[in-house]
Amino acid sequence: RPDTSFLWFTNPCKTMKFIVWRRFKWLFIGLIILLILLLFAAVLLYSLP
């Protein structure tokens, strides 16, 4: 049975994966990388004398 043949109310996490992850995968990855870089810059600026 393929992954898409399921009832959306029986597994909402799988539904969100199919709807959201396929459309916004690169946006999520980019935001995570940007957040890591901003945290690194904040720690760097905080630790400067």
Q: pLDDT grade, residue 49 (50/70/90)?
A: confident
pLDDT (0 to 100) of residue 42: 96
**Identity of the amino acid at 23:** R
Residues sharing a CB contact under 8 Å with residue 28, sequence separation 6 or more, in sequence order: 21
Residues sharing a CB contact under 8 Å with residue 3, sequence separation 6 or more, in sequence order: 14, 18
Contacts 24+ apart (CB under 8 A), 36-44: none
Comparing 2 with 48, the larger pLDDT belongs to: 48
Residue 35 tokens read as 């957040």
Task: Say whether pLDDT at 27 is over 60.
Answer: yes
